[in-house]
């Protein structure tokens, strides 16, 4: 074994250590999130029901606490008052305030939540270095097989979450759900999918690999965030429906769902996330077709992977159409979004494992 | 939650024309029974087909319809798998055949779905385009009666003149590139038409993409050619091993060019857990374009096809072609050629047949034919191992199993060059009376018994490369369509189309009441932000006046929405 190979093996083992360490930190973060939810449940929050009964009582059309406009100061003159923008939700929509988040307004819960986020940042950095070390060990982009896919995928998903947090978007409630699945994803990666570091077969030698695969992973991570929001939307929506029709939801549901954003906010968030990444997904498929044209001699082969990418694309197009079609908004559209994400998942796990096609990944 | 009919009705009433035409999406109309007669039915059918609801259903059907093709073997992708499936599922296969499930993407029902979808698409695009042109020519609709009913609203009182406020507002929104005009007591402005344009471009681009793809399929040609190092090829039908073409293809469409394979080289991982995994495949070729163009040389790799004229030459397979010399009973060379062998596994254990058809005479001088089954191991592991241990030529061994008799090549039944029909052949026997077998290293010779001749494996083991030569016109248009689709989509999803109204009216007490409101079609938090920004700007030009002591609402419009 030559020297270069030895350093590579060394880097690969460093990468493995880093990935395991990040799992450990994610686990700590997971417990901190749990603590946030547990302590948050102490405070009693019942805003949804209050808001809904207020609406029912009439007159509550306007949302309280509408965003005030920030206005430049006008040349130092004493300012009387500034125009404030009043926001009114579209007719037919429920006016429900967003929940306070997992900590439920409880100070100790909030503290645990902040610890959880700090741990998530730490775990993210460790995992990221693990991915980079892996890339260095194989001297190429770290996405040649399913193990590398999984570790990159979860890194990107957490990266998307942290970026949204840094942009001060209201996404803190995603934490527990995201980290749970990140742990699952990593667990699968290090047990079932583990592949020793390896070079690529000639068909994967192409700069299209960087373009096509990196966008595919990114789209998957963002679609995943959208899917989580969609699922929570469905729960929260039926919770609100139940309250509206005078029912009493169970204590657990009340405790958890009360703290999430309003169903309308969740729905909007899911839509924006999915819609924002859809053009990139379109690009991913087209880049894949161009690559296939160079590698296999045909742009479109109806190879299972291509077919499922196409199905996923059509399913998301259905979802976007549904949002634009009266009578399909809301829950029906949400089901379509989940089906679309299901197609994406199947394309990744199902097609790689059960169906053989031209897309081959070493080690699976 | 769905918008109920009454909600919609109320919204419509409040917004009037102001909320109309904010998009060109077709209105969903109540399903009314068609009028009498054929024309009534045709119109009804057309309305249904071009409605968003049906477009949605067709899209769903298309994605469902694409599923079986990914799970059931397809003749287009792998015909041998289909045969295996047919053999394994005797009852299911005929049913699948009837449903076209072995060629889903060219089946009648799949075609029906996408043709309907594209008819629907055209039927949708044409009226929307006209509507959009109309919107571009017209002006943004005037302000609704009650601005405070709109999703974003603000108001204040000012000492400035209503005309001045309107003028300032008009200048302001125009600077922000709104299309705007004064209608009555209010400024009406609209922005974000690119959204609609993008949406139309996207849907038109889908049609361009499909047409390009379909015409490409009809004019395409696609053939393969196996070439041993040193072989040449010129682009004409008889030169191909295997050739397929679209229904409108004619042989005149073949680009004139020729090329020859100078050298093929494969490199493999030498150590580690992935020993033997291919690293690079390269074919050095010399090519010339046209009937007698200048010869140039280049390297064809797996991801880098050679582009000549309309055609692309892809490197798709490779293997070994040992050079074999056969001498007959009199010691004369009757055969000398490189014999391409087909790889059986990743380490290129290869198999093939050497067929000596004429010229061979046995020890007695009688005419005969020879057939030799050949196994080739580029890296022989020693002992009884029959599988190659590595794909490169580290320790090559050729295993031969010679027969003589009638090869059956003249029987009229097409024969594979890689298979030996032994029905009329007899094996050569060794001293013990068993089938003769020989393991040759390069340079070694296997003697046939009783002076029947010899077979020599020459020192130089050649390699062969398989090329696929594809001509598929329309690629450029497909790319244009694809790019159009992406940019159209991005515009359609990221740009907000929205309207802003600024009303300025003198109230009963002589103070001007300014009201601003915004309406967007899509759900965005940006709308209130933008309105606030505009309001702040306008406020600088028309500063607030003190509130009247009594808070009776001014007759110009209810200011109740304003937060104090
Ligand atoms: C070939 C299949 C089709 C695909 C893949 C497709 C895809 C899409 C996508 C992804 C959008 C979202 C863009 C946006 O929200 O602005 C969209 C919007 C739209 N599509 Fe299609 N579409 C197809 C066929 C059709 C057909 C047949 C119609 C006509 C009935 C149609 C009418 C519309 C309209 C009106 C919108 C805009 C809705 C709005 O303004 O929000 N599409 N389409």
**Closest Cβ opposite residue A302 in set B8, B77, B280:** B77
Please indicate whether, in this complex, the C-beta atoms of A314 and B8 are within 8 angstroms of each other. Answer: no
Q: Relative to the CA of B198, which ligand 1 atom is closest?
A: 16
**Structure confidence by residue, pLDDT tens digits, A18-41:** 999 999 999 999 999 988 888 776
Q: Residue B266's beta-bridge partner residues?
A: B281
pLDDT in tens, chain B (564 residues): 333 444 444 555 556 666 666 767 766 555 566 566 777 778 877 877 777 888 888 989 999 998 888 888 888 777 778 888 888 888 888 888 888 888 888 888 998 998 999 999 999 899 999 999 998 998 888 888 888 888 888 888 888 889 999 999 999 999 999 999 998 889 999 998 999 999 999 999 999 998 998 888 888 888 999 999 999 998 888 889 888 888 888 888 888 898 999 999 888 877 766 677 777 889 999 998 887 778 889 999 887 889 888 888 999 889 999 999 999 888 889 999 999 999 988 888 999 999 888 888 888 888 888 899 999 999 988 877 788 888 899 899 999 999 988 887 776 666 677 788 888 888 888 888 888 988 999 999 998 888 888 999 999 899 999 999 988 888 888 899 999 999 999 999 888 889 999 999 988 888 889 999 988 865 566 788 888 889 888 988 888 776 655 444 444 433 333 333
- At A65 the pLDDT is 32
**CB of residue B122 inside a 6 A radius of ligand 1:** no
- At B533 the pLDDT is 87
Question: Residue B136 to residues A254, B23, B180, B191, B324: CA-CA distances in angstroms?
Answer: 50, 12, 12, 11, 77
- At B186 the pLDDT is 92
Q: In a 10 Å sphere around its CB, with 0-12 CB exposed, 13-18 middle and 19+ buried, how is residue A297 labelled?
A: buried
- At B555 the pLDDT is 40
Residue A72 pLDDT exceeds 70: no
- Which of the 8 DSSP states describes residue B18? G
Distance CA A240, CA A52 (A): 8
Which positions in chain A touch B213 (Cβ < 8 Å)? 300
Distance from CA of B417 to the nearest CA of A (A): 25
Distance from CA of B431 to the nearest CA of A (A): 47
Q: Among A98-107, A194-203, B421-430, B554-563, which range has the highest average pLDDT?
A: B421-430
Residue A7 pLDDT exceeds 70: no
**CB of residue B59 inside a 6 A radius of ligand 1:** yes
Please indicate whether, in this complex, the C-beta atoms of A83 and B154 are within 8 angstroms of each other. Answer: yes
Distance CA A133, CA A139 (A): 9
Distance from CA of B275 to the nearest CA of A (A): 10
Of the listed ranges A204-218, A219-233, B296-310, the one predicted with least confidence: A204-218
**Structure confidence by residue, pLDDT tens digits, A142-158:** 777 788 888 999 999 99
Q: Who's near B382: CB < 8 A, 6+ residues apart?
A: none
Q: Judge whether B347 and B388 are in contact, CB under 8 Å.
A: yes
**CB of residue B52 inside a 6 A radius of ligand 1:** yes
Which positions in chain A touch B269 (Cβ < 8 Å)? 199
Q: Judge whether A19 and A130 are in contact, CB under 8 Å.
A: yes
Residue A297: closest C-alpha in chain B: B314
Residue A121 pLDDT exceeds 90: yes
- At B412 the pLDDT is 64
**Structure confidence by residue, pLDDT tens digits, B272-284:** 666 777 778 899 9
**CB of residue A162 inside a 6 A radius of ligand 1:** no
**Structure confidence by residue, pLDDT tens digits, A269-305:** 899 899 999 999 999 999 998 888 877 777 887 888 8
The residue among A107, A64, A327, A345 whose CA lies nearest residue A221 is: A345
Q: How far is the CA of A323 from the centre of ligand 1 (A)?
A: 10
**CB of residue B55 inside a 6 A radius of ligand 1:** yes
**Closest Cβ opposite residue B1 in set A94, A205, A310:** A94
- Substitution target in A297, A322, A330 with the highest count of B β-carbons within 10 Å is A297
Residue B52: closest C-alpha in chain A: A325
Please name the residue that has the structure tokens 């009804």. B44
Write A17-21 long-range contacts (CB < 8 A, 24+). Answer: A17/A130, A18/A126, A18/A127, A18/A129, A18/A130, A18/A133, A19/A127, A19/A130, A19/A134, A19/A151, A19/A186, A19/A189, A19/A190, A20/A190, A21/A126, A21/A130
**Closest Cβ opposite residue A91 in set B10, B53, B489:** B10
- Substitution target in A82, A91, A197 with the highest count of B β-carbons within 10 Å is A91
Distance from CA of B400 to the nearest CA of A (A): 32
- At B269 the pLDDT is 79
Q: Relative to the CA of A325, which ligand 1 atom is closest?
A: 38
B382 against A44, higher pLDDT: B382
Distance from CA of B70 to the nearest CA of A (A): 5
Which positions in chain A touch B3 (Cβ < 8 Å)? 90-92, 326, 329
Please name the residue that has the structure tokens 């796990």. A349
Residue nearest to atom 38 of ligand 1 (CA): A324
ipTM: 0.83
């Amino acid at each position: 074994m030559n020297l270069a190979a030895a350093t590579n093996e060394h880097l690969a083992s460093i990468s493995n250590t880093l990935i395991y360490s990040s799992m450990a930190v994610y686990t700590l973060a997971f417990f901190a999130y749990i603590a946030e939810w547990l302590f948050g449940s102490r405070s009693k929050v019942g805003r949804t029901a209050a808001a809904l009964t207020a609406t029912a009582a009439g007159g509550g059309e306007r949302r309280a606490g509408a965003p005030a406009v920030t206005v430049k100061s006008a040349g130092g003159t004493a300012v009387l008052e500034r125009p404030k923008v009043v926001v009114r939700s579209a007719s037919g929509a429920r006016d429900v305030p967003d929940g306070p988040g997992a900590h439920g307004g409880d100070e100790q819960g909030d503290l645990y939540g902040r610890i959880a986020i700090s741990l998530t940042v730490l775990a993210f950095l460790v995992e990221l270095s693990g991915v980079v070390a892996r890339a260095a060990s194989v001297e190429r982009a770290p996405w040649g097989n399913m193990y590398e896919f999984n570790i990159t995928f979860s890194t990107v998903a957490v990266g998307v979450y942290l970026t949204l947090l840094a942009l001060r978007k209201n996404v803190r409630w995603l934490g527990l759900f995201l980290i749970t699945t990140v742990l699952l994803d990593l667990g699968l990666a290090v047990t079932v999918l583990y592949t020793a570091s390896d070079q690529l077969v000639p068909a994967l030698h192409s700069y299209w690999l960087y373009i096509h695969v990196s966008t595919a992973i990114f789209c998957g991570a963002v679609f995943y965030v959208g899917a989580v929001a969609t699922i929570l939307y469905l729960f929260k929506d039926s919770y609100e429906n139940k309250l509206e029709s005078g029912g009493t939801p169970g204590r657990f549901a009340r405790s958890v769902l009360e703290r999430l954003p309003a169903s309308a906010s969740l729905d909007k968030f899911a839509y924006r996330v999915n819609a924002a990444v859809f053009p990139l997904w379109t690009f991913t498929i087209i880049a894949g077709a161009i690559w296939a044209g160079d590698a296999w001699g045909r742009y479109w082969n109806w190879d299972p992977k291509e077919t499922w990418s196409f199905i996923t694309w059509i399913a998301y197009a259905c979802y976007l159409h549904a949002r634009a079609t009266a009578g399909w908004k809301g829950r029906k559209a949400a089901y379509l979004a989940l089906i679309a994400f299901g197609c994406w998942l199947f394309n990744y796990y199902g097609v790689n494992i059960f169906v053989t096609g031209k897309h081959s990944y070493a080690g699976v | 939650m769905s918008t109920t009919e009454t909600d919609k009705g109320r919204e419509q009433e409040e917004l009037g024309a102001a909320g109309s035409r904010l998009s060109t999406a077709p209105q969903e109309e109540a399903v009314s029974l068609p009028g009498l007669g054929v024309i009534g039915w045709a119109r009804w059918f057309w309305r249904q087909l071009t409605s968003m609801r049906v477009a949605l259903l067709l899209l769903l059907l298309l994605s469902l319809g694409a599923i079986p093709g990914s799970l059931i073997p397809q003749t287009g992708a792998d015909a041998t798998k289909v045969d295996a499936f047919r053999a394994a599922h005797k009852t299911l296969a005929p049913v699948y055949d009837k449903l076209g499930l072995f060629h889903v993407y060219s089946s009648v029902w799949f075609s029906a779905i996408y043709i309907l979808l594209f008819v629907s698409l055209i039927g949708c695009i044409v009226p929307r385009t006209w509507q959009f042109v109309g919107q571009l020519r017209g002006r943004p609709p005037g302000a609704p009666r009650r601005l405070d009913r709109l999703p974003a609203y603000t108001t204040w009182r000012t000492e400035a003149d209503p005309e001045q406020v309107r003028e300032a507002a008009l200048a302001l929104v125009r600077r922000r590139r709104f299309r705007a005009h004064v209608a009555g007591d209010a400024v009406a402005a609209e922005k974000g038409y690119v959204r609609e344009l993008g949406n139309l471009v996207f849907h038109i681009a889908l049609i361009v993409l499909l047409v390009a793809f379909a015409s490409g399929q009809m004019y395409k040609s696609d053939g393969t050619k196996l070439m041993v190092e040193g072989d040449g090829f010129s682009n004409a039908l008889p030169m191909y091993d295997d050739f397929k073409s679209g229904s409108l293809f004619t042989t005149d469409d073949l680009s004139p060019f020729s090329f020859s394979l100078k050298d093929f080289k494969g490199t493999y991982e030498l150590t580690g857990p992935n020993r033997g995994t291919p690293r690079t495949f390269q074919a050095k070729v010399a090519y010339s374009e046209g009937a007698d163009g200048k010869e140039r040389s280049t390297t064809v790799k797996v991801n880098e096809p050679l582009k000549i004229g309309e055609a692309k030459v892809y490197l798709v397979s490779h293997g070994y072609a040992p050079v074999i010399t056969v001498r007959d009973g009199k010691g004369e060379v009757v055969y000398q050629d490189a014999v391409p062998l087909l790889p059986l596994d990743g380490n290129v254990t290869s198999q093939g047949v050497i067929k000596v058809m004429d010229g061979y005479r046995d020890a007695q001088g009688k005419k005969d034919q020879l057939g030799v089954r050949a196994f080739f191991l580029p890296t022989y592991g020693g002992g009884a191992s029959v599988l190659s241990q590595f794909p490169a030529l580290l320790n090559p061994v050729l295993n031969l199993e010679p027969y003589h008799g009638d090869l059956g090549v003249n029987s009229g039944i097409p024969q594979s060059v890689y298979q030996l029909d032994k029905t009329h052949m007899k094996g050569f026997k060794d001293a013990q009376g068993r089938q003769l077998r020989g393991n040759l290293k390069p340079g070694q010779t296997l003697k046939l018994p009783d002076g029947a001749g010899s077979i020599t494996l020459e020192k130089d083991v050649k390699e062969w490369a398989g090329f696929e030569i594809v001509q598929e016109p329309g690629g450029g248009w497909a790319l244009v369509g694809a790019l159009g689709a992406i940019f159209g989509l991005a515009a359609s999803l990221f740009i907000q189309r929205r309207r802003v109204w600024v009303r300025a009216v003198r109230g009963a007490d002589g103070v001007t009441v300014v009201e601003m409101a915004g309406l967007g079609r899509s759900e965005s938090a940006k709308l209130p932000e933008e309105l606030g920004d505009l309001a702040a700007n306008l406020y600088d030009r028309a500063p607030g006046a003190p509130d009247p002591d009594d808070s009776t609402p001014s007759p110009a419009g209810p200011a109740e929405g304003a937060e104090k």
